[in-house]
Structure 1
């Protein structure tokens, strides 16, 4: 679907969803947060709001998130709808080709200035009234995207345009793709049907995510059933009148429980609830969306949805994706079976039963892997929280960015939607040249987006002299991060930096507005900075009192990280294969397709679960695109080689910022990576990684 300047959720553009949704606990967790730890926390060098404020007056080009109340959202929504349609009509009547691309840019920025904050509030506002009003407004605005790109007069104007340079030529090409994918080149009757389909898909996607965010399901267990969980975790959980623990589906609850709870039945109950997130209604929404996408592809003369969308991505064709996934599967088979055998042996030893009487269940995998990591490598993820206090970890991420990319983060006091949200102005190292704005909203709360994501609320544009603003949204443990969560922090912070460092001429190409199968690459690469001794040493610069990991501990941590690698990648392969199965050929029932796939795999399918009901990626821009997480990692690991083991080399970092992060979608990903590496990108590093040979 086209990357649109008008629909705030935009299938391809202004929000980058969390890296794999972490819908099951068979993959390592990736989601968490920030806010000063209490008085007993280690002393940090990160300035508090009272200690370091952005210089007054506010930097030129700074754009803040508008904090609308519900009545204002409702009132302005109607006005914005009318004003945008008026602007489109004026563009249709325009006669000056020299102004056309600038007019599109103004339209993008106009829409973003209202629609993006509203979409953000729909996902993070503490007020359900505001969230509901924002959701209703996003639904009301969503048809504008198709209206714009179905405009035949505008389509013809763009066709006739003679671009002034390579940047204009690429923007023109992308606009034409948007028009064609929306149906501007179709006969009137098919064009009308394409619009109706696109509008309904927008509404379905919003409703799907809302059902996940606001799922009220809980599991009640006794304190005894939570044996294995640390005291700090127990203290933070809700209790019922009888003192039992009431567990919801936020990640600081689910991940530690499935990793540490020794009671298998309790793990099964929580895991099963988590697998049913979103409910039956979401399965119906997904099935409806699959039928609509197939019909849309047929209107465009394509055999299926995957064929239609992949022609706009690096992979180009479903066959290329299928070949890639087959290569991944082949590389993982032996390793996955070996790892499962190790888990089975561990479970048998714990239960004191013969091996043939023991089966590993899906709710066992995180728990058993953690036990083996502790026994083999002396790595306890819960104990690692003492080494990575949440606030210190955020300061660490910021310091890495400052050192590597030559910038400076300065805390500033601005209006925010929740007291725990922080704001930073980002400057060049000289402290004078303003780069962009960063918000951090890091802890779970009721009704909030419940994974991790970078929301690009203001797309930068050099033409408009507007600097970008990004919001990091996570659901972290307030007491500290385990190592998996530290990787998540850097991953999502990488998306934020991709947005903030953008220097593109046009807003519609800013930041993470790149091809879907490349968008994860910069963030996946940045995860490596959470693993190396020379980069983790930077933590000492921002937290003098934090305990230090010894060289031996770091070595053991790296070994523990690679343990279970085949199973983690296999799960990603499963998500990608499932996604492609749904979007190639004729539409298939979402749940039945998932069940058949799971039954073909070693761990099998658990009756009564409906994972697809909570698989937000399928409804949030990753339809026929989940393979992109693996495809992007090919690029990420190849780009990492340019640092040649010197991850804190500022010369390479600034070159990377200039050639990759600042260019957004102005340059095709293949060309960007080739320019950065000085050669064509390859797959060798990726396949060494998944085979455990790096």
Structure 2
């Protein structure tokens, strides 16, 4: 990526994206077959088996990141759908590697014979992760259990694609009058009255924080909690299938299966931590809720979920003189982004320069800013940074950081 000196092109059609996914899968399968044919379990070592596999993995992940970007940022719904589908078929093919018994024989041989003191901690961690991926993808299952596990895996991929496609669709709007939205800044008020309140988190939070009308806040809150209702059944099925797959592998639950990869190694340890946190935080929460109730000063002492943001914002402004709306006027988006990059330059020894007048195909939308990032001392190109901060239809609506290509993807 960095060696080309030019930002990549984003001028790609849904068909071309699908073709890229198929090509990547073909290359992956060929590389894996070549590896399996070139080494026997008796000859397998970290250098001739695990390192080549790591390079294959890096190529897959480097390419699939580019494919996945479009489902989050493309203005074209067909492109977003093609992106989700492309990622799904690559993921399915990738997970299929971990059901290849000849490949597992090589990795298992290295795991069994590799002297731990001959490889460093990072290599040991990678080898352990690689070996466990085979077990977690059903390599130890036989007969009907294996068939059922594979069926579940395929269905989980389908559910993931459908879930993500739904999130990229229009969540709907609510229309309110100026009186119903009293309390919002005039610029925001004019926009919401004219264009409706898009049921995305940023818009919902804006209304919940500043709108004086409790009925409006209630309506917005409840509607916001019920966007993409079709995803509820997809999530329910996903949870059931994950649990079944984990039990086929011999775990008591999906959480128990995943626990081995985390700092907290079991659901019980997580539950203990959460209980301890709850015991500590509950008195603090009660005290703060009492303050918010006092601000509301309702005759019946009621305090609802749609009240919290409004009275919390009011508490910040009245007691602590913190007005986020006023503060934001001192930090216009583009100016602030530029100053943040100056800070990064100083901290990390970088040179970050915006690339102006790029050809249209070098970004996915005209509003995207592109920056060239170099080592300040050596002028070596490190990569490109894309800044795409403004809302638009179909775009991922919350804070996010997406990798597009890794700067370096070869391990030697």
Using the size of structure 2 for normalisation, the TM-score is 0.89
Contact 2:2 2:383 in 1 (8 A): no
Deviation at 1:189, TM superposition (A): 4.0
**Alignment of 1:440 onto 2:387:** yes
2:61 aligns to what SS in structure 1? helix
Answer yes or no: is the 8 Å Cα contact 2:69–2:404 preserved in 1.
yes
Superposition deviation, residue 287 in structure 1: 1.0
For 1:535, the equivalent position in structure 2 comes to none
The equivalent of 1:157 in structure 2 is 106
How far apart, in 1, do the equivalents of 2:148 and 2:235 lie?
19
Which residue of structure 2 aligns with residue 228 of structure 1? 183
- Among candidates 186, 201, 204, match of residue 156 of structure 2: 201
Give the drift of 1:403.
1.9
For 1:420, the equivalent position in structure 2 comes to 367
**Aligned with 2:180: secondary structure?**
helix
Partners of 1:431 and 1:362 lie apart in 2 by: 54
Q: What aligned pairs does 1:412-491 form with structure 2 within 5 A after superposition?
A: 412-413=355-356, 414=358, 415-430=362-377, 432-461=379-408, 464=410
Q: Which residue of 2 aligns with 1:484?
A: none
Give me the whole-angstrom Cα distance separating, in 1, the residues matched to 2:145 and 2:341: 50
Question: Aligned pair in 2 of structure 1 residues 264, 226: CA closer, same or farther (>3 Å)?
Answer: same
Q: Provide Cα deviations, 1:155-208, integer angstroms capped at 9, x if missing partner.
A: 111122237521332221111121111122333543333232222212212321
Matched, 1:388 2:343: no
Distance 1:404 1:269 in 2: 46
Distance, in Å, in 2 between the alignment partners of 1:103 and 1:179 is: 17
Deviation for aligned residue 1:66: 4.5
Task: Output one character per residue of 1:582-623: Cα deviation in whole Å (capped at 9) or x when no partner.
Answer: xxxxxxxxxxxxxxxxxxxxxxxxxxxxxxxxxxxxxxxxxx
**Whole-angstrom distance in 1 between the partners of 2:275 and 2:249:** 28
Aligned-residue offset at 1:127: 0.9
Contact kept? 1:428, 1:434, Cα under 8 Å: yes
d(CA) in 1 for partners of 2:72, 2:172: 18
CA distance in 2, matches of 1:84, 1:192: 24
Q: Which residue of 2 aligns with 1:87?
A: 31
* 1:20 alignment counterpart: none
Q: CA deviation at 1:63?
A: 7.6
Q: Hey, what does 1:270 align to over in structure 2?
A: 220
Q: Which digits, 9 at most, give the CA deviation of each residue in 1:475-509, with x for residues without a partner? A: xxxxxxxxxxxxxxxxxxxxxxxxxxxxxx58xxx
Deviation, structure 1 residue 334: 0.8
For residues 322 and 191 of structure 2, the distance between their equivalents in structure 1, rounded to whole angstroms, comes to 24
Corresponding position of 1:78: 22
Q: Does 1:377 align with 2:324?
A: no
Change (3 A) 1:437 1:188: farther
User: Within 1, Cα distance between the matches of 2:341 and 2:174?
Assistant: 37
**1:326 and 1:62, CA in 2 relative to 1: closer, same or farther beyond 3 A?**
farther
Aligned mates of 2:2, 2:407 — CA distance in 1 = 15
Q: Deviations over 1:389-427 (max 9, x none)?
A: 112321233223222222222222550000111122222
> Does the alignment pair 1:304 with 2:253?
yes
Secondary structure, aligned partner of 1:410: strand
Alpha-carbon distance in structure 1 between the residues aligned to 2:348 and 2:259: 33
CA distance in 1, matches of 2:4, 2:249: 41
> What is the alpha-carbon distance in structure 1 between the residues aligned to residue 142 and residue 128 of structure 2?
21
Structure 1, unaligned stretches of length 5 or more? Answer: 1-57, 240-244, 465-504, 507-694
Say if 2:354 is the partner of 1:411: yes
C-alpha distance in structure 2 between counterparts of 1:407 and 1:94, whole Å: 43
How much has 1:122 moved relative to structure 2?
1.4
Cα distance, 1:277 vs structure 2: 1.6
Measure the CA separation in 1 of the matches of 2:348 and 2:63.
31
Does the CA contact (< 8 Å) of 1:81 and 1:141 recur in 2? yes
Verify the 8 A CA contact 1:250 1:444 in the aligned structure 2.
no
| 1:154–1:295 CA distance, 2 compared to 1 (3 A) | same
* Native 8 Å contact 1:66 1:117 kept in 2: no
**Superposed displacement of residue 213, structure 1:** 2.7
TM-score by length of 1: 0.54
SS of the equivalent of 2:374 reads: strand
- What is the Cα deviation at residue 343 of structure 1? 1.1
Alpha-carbon distance in structure 2 between the residues aligned to 1:93 and 1:236: 63
In structure 2, the gaps of 5 or more residues are none
> Number of paired residues?
396
1:226–1:257 contact (8 Å) kept in structure 2: yes
- Aligned partners of 1:186 and 1:459: how far apart in 2? 35
For 1:188 and 1:149, how far apart are their aligned partners in 2?
A: 17
CA contact (8 A) 2:368 2:388 kept: yes
Match of 1:246 in 2: 196
1:131-146 mapped onto 2 (5 Å cutoff): 131-146=80-95
Task: After superposition, give the CA deviation of every residue in 1:448-488 in whole Å (9 maximum; x if it has no partner).
Answer: 112222112223446x2xxxxxxxxxxxxxxxxxxxxxxxx
For each residue in 1:9-48, what CA deviation from the matched residue of structure 2 results, as whole angstroms up to 9, or x when unmatched? Answer: xxxxxxxxxxxxxxxxxxxxxxxxxxxxxxxxxxxxxxxx
Higher fraction of helix: 2
